Amino acid sequence: MATDQIVALPTDLQLLSVTSEMFPLVKTGGLGDVAASLPTALRHHGVRTVTILPGYPAVMNALTHRTEVFVFHDMLGYRTTLWEGTAHGRHLYVVDVPELYDREGGPYLGPDGRDWPDNHMRFAVLSRVAACIAQGCLPSWRPDVVMTHDWQAGLVAAYLRYDQLPAPPVAHVIHNMAFQGLFPREVLSRIGLPGHAFTFDGVEFYGKVGYLKAGLQIAGRLITVSPTYAEEIQTEQNGMGLEGLLRSRSADLSGILNGIDLHEWNSLTDPAVIFPYAIGDIAGRRANKRVFQAEFGLPQDSNAMLLGIVSRLTRQKGVDILAEIAPRLFQANIQLAVVGVGDQEIMQSFRTLQLAYPRNLVCHLRYDEILGHRLHSAVDASLVPSRFEPCGLTQLHALRYGSVPIAARVGGLTDTIVDANAAAIEEGVANGILFSPTEPDALYRAIMHGKKLFRQKSVWARLQRNGSLHDVSWHGKAAHYARLLMEMAGRAPVRAFGENDIAPRLSDMGMPFSPSSAFTRTARMPQSRPRNPGLGRTESPRFGAAS
């Protein structure tokens, strides 16, 4: 588990990260991974993050060294306790409202698979509390910049704008435009926003309150999780109705690729890997394929190409297309392992296929972190046939563990995979296979192309080696984030220091300089303030619904 081992310096930029997920406490997808690993990576670039999360049971149970730092007697109608503590080495603020968060089920869906009916309040309260911290309600700590993730935190920027109080700038990170947090107009007063926020340049989106829209419209800077997705979302095809807004904000929009935690993803130390092997040791991983085939009842045939997929089973991921072509693949002696959960219909189609092709298909239709790791250490190729993919982490996991990604030419998949076309093979730079469009025949052809290359052992080994050498770390990407955040705070950029250093030298640290107004879009926080988070509890006045 990554912990925050670097000594804090008074010059560190203080970042408040507002998120609805954080691995390993709560995760439905890559957002949870990024919300956990980016802060650790940012520590090496002079950015110190405190993450604020809803008090789901898993979060409350994991919180250690907790201190009650604030009580909001009426936070949009709820008595709300703000805890500060640590969990899995992360510094957290936790918004504790038992009526909203203390329940069985996922962060967004109830046990019946439907959205929680009070999601608008669950994430409004999270955002409202984060906005209060940004405005300085804690005497002990204020952030220099706020980073908000996805629709669940989109309202932070709105609260800060309509309160008209001094507040730090907001960077909104777009992980997925498909989830927009749209609610009826009537929720506006309930979530404590004034009537005049319901406009085209406020939170209104086609007659509804749009939480994502609010973030995109109001945050000072927008960041998407890959450069290609930053381009794609400005088009009608991928902008999900928000392309016009995004085009109008293109000067404030950056695309920064995600990285992964190299300590979590180390096949030599990963407990999920049955036969540990060094990154890049292609021969060393072979035993993992054999034992995986045995473990899951597939014929132990090293010549049979074994494909795998770890994914949410939704239309975004193109898994319905995979199910459609699966019988053709099985006729070609291809094996497939599926680890995923999602749409009932898609899960049912895999169940049916497994009954018909038990010697070719093995399905684990659930969320299974161990198998999600093991699979990439064992399979020959990992499939990512997405219709759209803002970044994608699963292809990064595959590359790192020596499984060749076969992926759709969309979003972050394009930015991380070098297609094995003849020229790239000749040059020795290919690390995977890309196909387009995301349709059954194109996917089938890509897999068959892969099968041909799989038979050419030296070509395939080169793809695997290139993949494992590909930089999937956070190093350069976190530096990019840090530069942007420093710029937003009106600071000079900090030079990165090595991951093995205990602390940076003072000479490595950029000293604050007089801010240029070009860098900030919202009012600047006062410079002199205490830096050590978390001492003592404070009580609040009322944060009631707007009348």
* Distances, alpha carbon 380 to alpha carbons 177, 238, 309, 376, in Å: 31, 31, 11, 8
Q: Of the listed pieces 110-118, 184-192, 264-272, 392-400, which binds ligand ADP according to CB under 6 A?
A: 392-400
* Closest residue by beta carbon to ligand ADP: 30
Angle 319-331/440-455 helices, nearest 10 degrees?
50
Tell me the closest approach of the beta carbon of residue 395 to ligand ADP, in angstroms.
7
Among 267, 394, 414, 438, binds ligand ADP (CB under 6 A): 394
Q: Which of 131, 154, 253 is CA-nearest to residue 208? A: 154
The token pair at 433 is: 């296979």
261 binds ligand ADP (CB under 6 A): no
Angstrom CA distances, 6 to 28, 41, 65, 445, stand at 29, 11, 19, 48
Q: How far apart are CA 368 and CA 345, in angstroms?
A: 20
Tell me how far apart the alpha carbons of residues 225 and 230 are, in angstroms, rounded to a whole number. 8
To the nearest whole angstrom, how small is the minimum distance from the Cβ of residue 300 to ligand GLC? 33
Q: What angle is formed at CA 336 by the lines to CA 330 and CA 340, rounded to 5 degrees?
A: 135
Six-digit token pair at 244?
A: 């016009």
Which C-beta is closer to ligand GLC: that of 24 or that of 98? 24
The answer to whether residue 357 forms part of the interface with ligand ADP (CB under 6 A) is no
Q: Pick from 393, 399, 410, 485 the residue near ligand GLC by CB under 6 A.
A: 393
Q: Are strands 145-149 and 64-75 parallel, antiparallel or unpaired?
A: unpaired
Strand-pair category, 170-174 with 221-224: parallel
Cα 272 to Cα 117: distance, rounded to the nearest angstrom: 37
Q: Which of 143, 372, 402, 432 binds ligand ADP (CB under 6 A)?
A: 372
CA nearest neighbour of 123 among 145, 150, 103: 150
In the bound complex, which residue of the shown chain has the CB atom lying closest to ligand GLC?
30
368 binds ligand ADP (CB under 6 A): yes
3-state class (DSSP) for residue 148 = strand
Distances in whole angstroms, Cα of residue 149 to Cα of each of 1, 23, 392, 448, 469: 22, 14, 16, 38, 30
Q: Sign of the CA dihedral 252, 254, 260, 263?
A: negative
Does 34 engage in binding with ligand GLC (CB under 6 A)? Answer: yes
Which x/- pattern over 402-421 shows residues binding ligand GLC (rule: CB under 6 A)?
A: ----------x---------
385 binds, among ligand GLC, ligand ADP, none (CB under 5 to 8 A by kind): none
3-state secondary structure of 149: strand
Pick the piece of the chain touching ligand GLC (CB under 6 A) from 119-127, 180-188, 284-292, 383-391. 383-391
Reply yes or no: is the peptide bond before residue 24 cis, omega within 30 of 0: yes
User: Residue 390 interacts with ligand GLC (CB under 6 A)?
Assistant: yes
Among 91, 128, 175, 208, binds ligand GLC (CB under 6 A): 175
Single out the segment in contact with ligand GLC by CB under 6 A; choices: 385-393, 399-407, 476-484, 513-521: 385-393
Q: Which of 30, 107, 192, 210 binds ligand GLC (CB under 6 A)?
A: 30
> Given the complex with ligand ADP, which of 150 and 419 has the nearer CB atom?
150
Site string for ligand ADP, 30-69 (x = CB under 6 A): xx-x------------------------------------
492/508 Cα distance (integer angstroms): 11
Q: Which is nearer to ligand ADP, 63 or 309 (CB)?
A: 309
Choice between 82 and 313, CB closer to ligand ADP:
313
Kindly state the DSSP code that residue 494 receives in the 8-state scheme.
P
Q: Read off the tokens for 441.
A: 């025949």
Pick from 137, 170, 216, 225 the residue near ligand GLC by CB under 6 A.
Answer: 225
CA distance linking residue 123 with residue 118, whole number of Å: 9
User: CB of residue 34 vs ligand GLC: minimum separation in angstroms?
Assistant: 5
Residues at the contact surface with ligand ADP, assessed by CB under 6 A: 29-31, 33, 310-312, 339-341, 367-369, 372, 391-394, 397
Residues at the contact surface with ligand GLC, assessed by CB under 6 A: 29-31, 34, 175-176, 225, 258, 389-393, 412
